Structure 1
């Protein structure tokens, strides 16, 4: 029997249910802690060695030598001092814990709060950090009550510290403490503080940690200083104005990771573009956005205007490729009455409409030589002349251009004026294609799902695991625009209250290549692309091969996962057993009847 240690201190009222390592003890409602199976979490771990990537759900991971971790800790301690290094390492752990809490809310959202919570201790085991053994666990989210008591067995962090400094007099699992604080605070929606009361770094056989709400610790400020430094999290024993701590922290952790641009991204390529836009925005320089169609050049151009000194002026966008050549001049510069046949009234062009603001010229590489010459004059002289007019008009316009073609090659080929190219190419910004910034995909998936589900009045719970795998590995030739359109189509096709699956997403012949690996029950890695490479029966209609292959792969995968049990496979797919049997016959998939 493991009783609560004397130094645990007060922790509020007893929750309706208490879990301990056996059924004896002071609480009659105590139950034995039964740790749930870890397979649902292990399936979220994917390896893509061809791409140099490891994913845990929608978070990119990496393997790291314990010796390297120890060297890093030692470098931080020696260069920054122990107090500063401890705060930094603790806050890194906090961030990891809060991210894992967001993931477990998707994986385990059942009625058993204890199983849901224990996903966190199981994740650190899955990630090779430590093995957690629960001693006592009390959870009452509605009343804000929490008490946790865990053994940390074979802590990798303690091992790394001991290798550098040997046995000491203070606990050393700083990152694990930060992880527990971040995970539990996100789970409970209120600040939960953990302390290490036993540690291998102090000579104990294993580590032991205790967690409870901040206000239940009499001397919480001793530990809070390691979490308050910096911008990661700010806790205070004094409640902030407006909202109580519970509501404030829950709201912050539930927010989508959206930046000031109104779009989401985490990749190095995305952040580079944001940096370049921020640098160019306060200036009057002409900016040229380069990149494939659909990467979001207009979104960045719009935000460049919003961040500029011209934000109060108009933002006028024109797609040069969509305007007929004979109308381009009048569209850009305006026309006087009688300027050409059919011009029955005078009207301003895009340049005049953008006066005092920003003019965005998309697909500028499609302009004719005549239009290019007049555009060059407008940029150089700061004045335009309407079609059929006899006078010039001064304009105050900042031009932002974009193109998906290589303008240097177009100049060499005689298709684009060299002088205009150099006039536009003052501050070029390359927006990478989505396939080169895959770290942005999970963020965009969730962001578009929330926005589009609201737009169409649908309640969509998320993405099926196989759908996430396919979207990670798809090449996205249409970039962000294709991703948005695919999710909107899927939201429309999916049942209200359901999740998005492959059959909702890849419906127009897209080629799916799932080349990642997953962790099987045995602990071995196995390729995940086998199901999607299965051949389609010869008698199957081929008008929509992408959908046929995808649906066939889904059926095979579900039946295999259920070991041939059709009833179980139907539940996995969210359809009835007769419907599953019909589809199996349709695709010619043989199975042993259950």
Structure 2
């Protein structure tokens, strides 16, 4: 009997990858519940009523009246004309679809391709736009083929258009058509155009749309008239700036000339990640001052990313090809700060066996970044002021005056004006530094950026530690969104790194993997659960422990509860005592001691005879 042919792992992966890159409605099981399901998507919708924010995973959302959108629509049509208003709303819908496609692709990277495409219909409904019923669809990403037909019901855009203009002869679901085109195009990798062939605004009972890859439509000039797209995926990006041409690749293992990293390497190592209004405001100020030669002072709490912004300032300035030299003033002893900044001549003091250039000389032509400048002594402040005003320095023990051309960028996490009033910082140096101040807000004031930073650091730390995870659980995202982050971005990076290390290989990162002794906020985010109820998460206490607590509420002590908790933790970690101890925030020795103590039955306290009372002598 012949043996069946053996298939290599590579071949299995190739075949599986091909399956995940195509799909059709004939073979898609709509009731299979493959992720992302509607329940998965609704659990990604977070409400924070206390500070007026709503998120769909990492995207800021807005809940507003449909009638207000209808009023805006009428204003656009009456002011700009029908065709310009249609183009504007179509492009806005395209951006929304592209953002949702990126969200699904990042959150569920291993999901079946058909389920990922279908998630767009569920998101469209979840966001209150329209109920989508798939009629047929067939796609093959590798061959560049897409064909889909869908029924739209209860379209809010139709409601408002009919209310304002009544029935007409043209379809009116402009932003919804843009959404469908943006979502599918972003997943597909090439232009997919949707057209509305029936519409309630034309008297139909429901709207019907057909989507096809651009080549299948033939002439798509009319569609592009409203999309006005050059690079379709570019419409979904955060920045409207044109992408810079890629830097020439270097041979593996080699650095840029002069031992400096290339710009591409610098971007990878020190990226700016964020989309909040506070973050964008700082970026706009950065772009405004970068082409000049002005001194920049970054202010903000520790860990907000002042050095990252300083490096970005250097990269987009005219000095980008020259050195960037960073100095942490707080890390250098007061007796050495002068020699570190200005250099030292041979024999200037005991141990100075050779001449050495300082940071000013090393940064000549480029940018000198002085972090925590508020820690400099008054003597060092005076010498720094002279160097900045005159553009010249003298090495310690030297007699020659050296001309230096540096752009100074400083940073501080203290209030320098308060330091001036207290007499600890020179007023003239403060005015010299405070030419163009840029305040970087704390992370608690830019919470929209937290999910973006979580995903960024997850990818980076997973690659650095050689670990694989499935991302964050919904309650971990909620906990991170509500946490105050006293250490700001630096603390968030550390928490994500801890989570990557603590989570099981191939598993999800949950709250116990991220937090140890940190004080979590009492404010909870509200989420829509699987049954459509808006409530605080109820998954913080596992059911078995909750039952145990209820059973012993009337008992004299918590001996049984402690034992139950220890045994559950041990079972969760497959008998690994060290892992179970970490799960409960204990050392291995503490866990083993408590487990051994609870294993023995609690002994009742012995009743002592009351001590005899001695009457005092009269």
Identify the TM-score tier after normalising by the shorter chain.
0.7 to 0.9
CA change 1:276–1:31 in 2 (3 A) is: closer
Cα offsets for 1:329-367 (capped at 9, x unmatched): 111112222322332322221112212221111111000
Task: Identify which of 368, 375, 382 aligns with 2:377.
Answer: 368
Matched, 1:499 2:508: yes
Is 2:324–2:369's contact at 8 Å kept on the other side of the alignment?
Answer: yes
**What is the rounded CA distance, in whole Å, between the counterparts of 2:298 and 2:495 in structure 1?**
25
Secondary structure of 1:317's counterpart equals strand
Query: Which residue in the other structure is 1:436 paired with?
Result: 445
409-418 or 329-338, which deviates more: 329-338
1:194 is matched with which residue? Answer: 194
Compute the displacement of 1:179 (Å).
0.9
Is 2:24–2:114's contact at 8 Å kept on the other side of the alignment?
Answer: no
Given the two structures, how large is their TM-score scaled by the length of structure 2?
A: 0.76
* C-alpha spacing 1:416/1:114, structure 2 compared with 1 (3 Å): same
| In 1: Cα distance, 2:360 partner to 2:27 partner | 75
Secondary structure of residue in 2 paired with 1:346: coil
RMSD: 3.3
CA deviation digits over 1:443-484, x for unaligned, max 9?
Answer: 111112222222222223322211111111111111111111
Match of 1:216 in 2: 216
How do 1:349-388 and structure 2 match up within 5 A? 349-388=358-397
Deviation at 1:512, TM superposition (A): 4.5
Aligned-pair CA distance for 1:120: 1.4
Q: Please state if 1:393 is matched with 2:391.
A: no
- Aligned match of 1:77: 77
1:277-297 Cα offsets, whole Å, 9 max, x none, are: 111112111111111111111
Check conservation: 2:23, 2:113, Cα contact below 8 A: no
What is the DSSP-based 3-state SS (H/G/I as helix, E as strand, rest coil) of the residue aligned with 1:401?
strand
Offset, 1:149: 1.6
d(CA) in 2 for partners of 1:463 and 1:44?
Answer: 11
Aligned equivalents of 2:300 and 2:23: distance in 1? 57
Contact 2:272 2:309 in 1 (8 A): no
- What is aligned with 2:42? 42
| Counterpart selection for 1:344 from 353, 365, 379 | 353
CA distance in 2, matches of 1:67, 1:45: 23
Alpha carbons of structure 1 residues 311 and 138: separation in structure 2 relative to 1, 3 Å: closer
Equivalent residue number for residue 150 of structure 1: 150
Q: C-alpha displacement at 1:139, in angstroms? A: 3.5
Deviation string 1:534-557 (CA, Å, 9 cap, x unpaired) is 9x99xxxxxxxxxxxxxx9xx99x
Task: Give the Cα separation in 1 of the matches to 2:129 and 2:32.
Answer: 18
2:490 partner SS = helix
With over 3 angstroms needed to count, the CA separation of the structure-2 counterparts of 1:215 and 1:234, relative to structure 1, is: farther
Moved more, 139-148 or 450-459: 139-148
Runs of 4 or more, structure 1, over 6 Å off, are: 258-261, 577-584
Alignment partner, residue 238 of structure 2: none
* Equivalent in 324, 327, 332 of residue 318 of structure 1: 327
Residue 177 of structure 2: aligned partner? 177
Q: How does 1:218-257 map to 2 (within 5 A)?
A: 218-229=218-229
Aligned length: 511
Contact 1:514 1:532 in 2 (8 A): no
Q: Which secondary structure does the structure 1 equivalent of 2:159 belong to?
A: helix
| 2:411 corresponds to | 402
Following the alignment from structure 2 to structure 1, what is the Cα–Cα distance between the partners of residues 510 and 301? 28
Secondary structure in structure 2 of the residue aligned to 1:531: coil
Shift in Å, 1:530: 7.7
What is the DSSP-based 3-state SS (H/G/I as helix, E as strand, rest coil) of the residue aligned with 2:385? helix
- 3-state SS of paired residue (2:170): coil
Q: What is the Cα deviation at residue 400 of structure 1? A: 0.9
Give the deviation of 1:531 after TM superposition. 2.6
Match for residue 540 of structure 2 among 531, 546, 566 = 531
- Give 1:272's aligned residue: 281
Contact map agreement 2:185 2:233 (CA 8 A) in 1: no
Matched with 2:602 is: none
Match of 2:94 in 1: 94
The residue correspondences of 1:407-418 to structure 2 (distance < 5 A) are 407-418=416-427
1:118 offset after TM fit, Å?
2.1
Is the aligned partner of 1:51 residue 2:60?
A: no
5 Å matches for 1:437-586?
437-513=446-522, 515-528=524-537, 531=540
2-structure distance, mates of 1:349, 1:516: 51
Cα deviation, 1:413-447, whole Å, max 9, x if unaligned, reads 11101111111111111111111111111211111
Counterparts in 2 of 1:48 and 1:31: CA distance versus 1, 3 Å: closer
State the shift of 1:260 in Å. 12
Q: Distance in 1 between matches of 2:57 and 2:214?
A: 30
Further displaced range: 271-280 or 258-267: 258-267
Question: SS of the residue aligned with 1:325?
Answer: coil
1:407 and 1:581 map into 2 onto residues whose CA distance is 48
Tell me, yes or no, if the aligned pair for 2:191 and 2:232 is still in contact at 8 Å. no
User: Aligned equivalents of 1:283 and 1:390: distance in 2?
Assistant: 33
Q: Match for residue 292 of structure 1?
A: 301
Distance in 2, Cα, partners of 1:122 & 1:407: 52
What SS is found at the alignment partner of 2:147?
Answer: strand
Shift of 1:319: 0.5
Please name the residue that 1:242 is paired with: none
Task: Please report how far the alpha carbon of residue 494 of structure 1 lies from its aligned counterpart in structure 2 after TM superposition.
Answer: 2.7
Question: Residue 485 of structure 2 contacts residue 491 of structure 2 at CA under 8 Å; is this kept in 1?
Answer: yes
Deviation (angstroms), 1:303: 1.7
Q: Distance in 2 between matches of 1:533 and 1:382?
A: 65
Secondary structure, counterpart of 2:325 in structure 1? strand
Contact 2:93–2:178 under 8 Å retained in 1:
yes
2:50 aligns to what SS in structure 1? coil
Distance in 2, Cα, partners of 1:34 & 1:496 = 30
